[in-house]
Amino acid sequence: MYRIVKKRILNPTVTEMQIEAPLIAQKAKAGQFIILRVDSEGERIPLTVAGTDPEVGTVKIIFQVVGATTEKLNRKNEGDCLCDFVGPLGTPTKLDGLKNVCVVGGGVGCAIAMPIAEQLHKNGCKVTSVVGFRNKDLVILQEEFSACSDRLFTVTDDGSFGEQGNVCAPLERLLEAGERFDEVIAIGPLVMMKFVTLATKPYGIKTTVSMNPIMIDGTGMCGGCRLTVGGETKFACVDGPDFDGHLVDFDEAMSRSRAYAAFERHAHEETCNLFRKEEN
């Protein structure tokens, strides 16, 4: 069993937890993920390692409540235990040798982008962070990004915090002004990552995206997480989750990501009804 050591609400739909998992805390690197089950009846869900404390033996996860399992996880409190917590899985993000990088995060994707920005900063790289949210209530991790970024641009769709617009606006401005990043690393909704790759393509700037398709086993056996990258089939859980964004077939990935929408809606409604009954 894996104890929840700390729980912090970051915004109305995003929660941070520190989980006691000493072996994973020693091995995990930026860009890797874990798969957890809340209880023995639960489904397996992947979440990125948002940080580790190898000395204390804890792993940080940051998750958005979007459906049945994240709802169930969010109801757990400090001192409660999770049934399974497996990892680290996936390939760490390749950060060695980079000197000038733009890290782009969208929504809860910022939770995945933040440890990458932190590691780049520790490596002595110049870090420009561009983070975007729908509105000011959903803004997360500003302090953490400020601490590890040489420049931080925050945008919101409605302009209620930072600049109004989407993440491509500051990025395009920097590129048009002649900024030549070694690499752009974009993590967020599929449509956001697609548009970031379209913005960087004319400049020939390497653009890495973190893909998050449905995962089941997380070890390359079920095929659930397959993607087309450069015309070849890849498994995000073992070949990724990072890929060259200019080679990813985003339209196919978006269509596959909608395949289970009806099932997920049903499971979410059932979970909410279950908790409502328990509370009455």
Ligand X SMILES: Cc1cc2nc3c(=O)[nH]c(=O)nc-3n(C[C@H](O)[C@H](O)[C@H](O)COP(=O)(O)OP(=O)(O)OC[C@H]3O[C@@H](n4cnc5c(N)ncnc54)[C@H](O)[C@@H]3O)c2cc1C
Interface contacts to ligand X, rule CB under 6 A: 33, 45-48, 62-64, 66-70, 108, 111-112, 212, 214-215, 241, 257, 264, 267-268
Binding piece for ligand FES, criterion CB under 6 A, among 71-79, 123-131, 136-144, 215-223: 215-223
Cβ atoms of 242 and 208 within 8 Å: the answer is yes
**Which secondary-structure segment (H or E) carries 170?**
helix 168-176
| Per CB under 6 A, 223 contacts ligand FES | yes
CA distance 69 to 163: 34
- In angstroms, give the least distance from the CB of 172 to ligand X: 27
Binding piece for ligand FES, criterion CB under 6 A, among 97-105, 134-142, 154-162, 214-222: 214-222
Nearer to ligand X, 68 or 101 (CB): 68
- In angstroms, give the least distance from the CB of 265 to ligand X: 7
Q: Which two tokens stand for residue 134?
A: 């729908």
- In angstroms, give the least distance from the CB of 228 to ligand X: 16
CA distance 237 to 211: 9
| Per CB under 6 A, 220 contacts ligand FES | yes
- In angstroms, give the least distance from the CB of 239 to ligand FES: 9
Cβ atoms of 196 and 210 within 8 Å: the answer is no
- In angstroms, give the least distance from the CB of 277 to ligand FES: 33
Give 46's strand partners. Answer: 35
In this structure, the number of other CB atoms found within 10 A of the CB of residue 111 comes to: 25
DSSP state of 203: G
CA distance 28 to 220: 19
Contact residues for ligand FES, defined by CB under 6 A: 215-218, 220-225, 235, 237
